[in-house]
């Protein structure tokens, strides 16, 4: 009996140490200088990566958007829909790379900005600078901050103040509104 308690206590202590080490590692990654994270996204891309680098607005008719996007991306980007939680493969994307707008390929986030929020949607604690415009959304009664791509106007999600350090923000993004470009090899 005492040996079982000792072994259980040892297992709990080891698990706690592992969890603390993982938390410390994640905190160290997120404690990187935000300005550096926001500035260095171009270093992740291969030279032939096709991304938008300017924010000149894209103008298309609704029919042109419908033809250029798959139905789920069209519903989210153009009509402020929301995908089902835990339905996006980008929740499980852990490779180094850049997340771009599915509507116009404007780089929005890097993999270093991503964290697991447990909400079912890809989440980020900061963005590449000057890529989003915000509005107040009152559809759910309580006001929320909604963000849209500055280049194509596509709806991406909502930003909340329950994220991790160093920003305390959680950009809760619909996965269908993004495309992932892996880092150059």
Q: Where are the domains of the chain?
A: 1-30, 33-182
Ordered mean pLDDT values, 10 residues apiece, the chain (185 residues): 40 38 42 70 67 84 97 97 96 94 95 95 95 88 92 96 95 97 83
Which pLDDT score is estimated for 34? 78
Residue 183 token pair = 């880092």
**Alpha-carbon distance 45 to 39, whole Å?**
13
From the list 85, 86, 62, the residue with the least C-alpha distance to 74 is 62
CA torsion through residues 184, 88, 164, 103, sign:
positive
pTM of the model: 0.77
> What is the dotted CATH code of the domain comprising 33-182?
2.170.150.20
**Alpha-carbon distance 110 to 90, whole Å?**
12
Residue 104 annotated as catalytic: no
Which pLDDT score is estimated for 139? 81
Which pLDDT score is estimated for 47? 57
Which pLDDT score is estimated for 4? 41
């Amino acid at each position: 009996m005492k040996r079982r308690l000792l072994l259980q206590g040892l297992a709990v202590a080891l698990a706690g140490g592992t969890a603390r080490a993982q938390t410390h590692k994640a905190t160290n990654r997120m404690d990187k200088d935000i300005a550096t994270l926001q500035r260095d996204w171009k270093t992740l891309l291969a030279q032939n990566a096709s991304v938008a680098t300017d924010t000149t607005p894209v103008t298309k008719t609704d029919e042109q958007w419908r033809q250029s996007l798959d139905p789920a991306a069209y519903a989210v980007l153009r009509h402020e829909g929301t995908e089902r939680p835990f339905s996006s493969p980008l929740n499980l994307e852990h490779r180094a790379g850049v997340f771009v707008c599915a509507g116009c390929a404007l780089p929005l986030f890097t993999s270093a900005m991503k964290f697991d929020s447990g909400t079912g949607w890809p989440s980020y604690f900061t963005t590449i600078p000057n890529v989003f415009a915000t509005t107040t959304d009152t559809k759910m009664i309580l006001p929320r901050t909604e963000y849209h791509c500055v280049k194509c106007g596509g709806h991406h999600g909502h930003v909340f103040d329950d994220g991790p350090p160093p920003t305390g923000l959680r950009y809760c993004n619909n996965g269908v509104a993004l495309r992932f470009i892996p880092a150059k090899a």
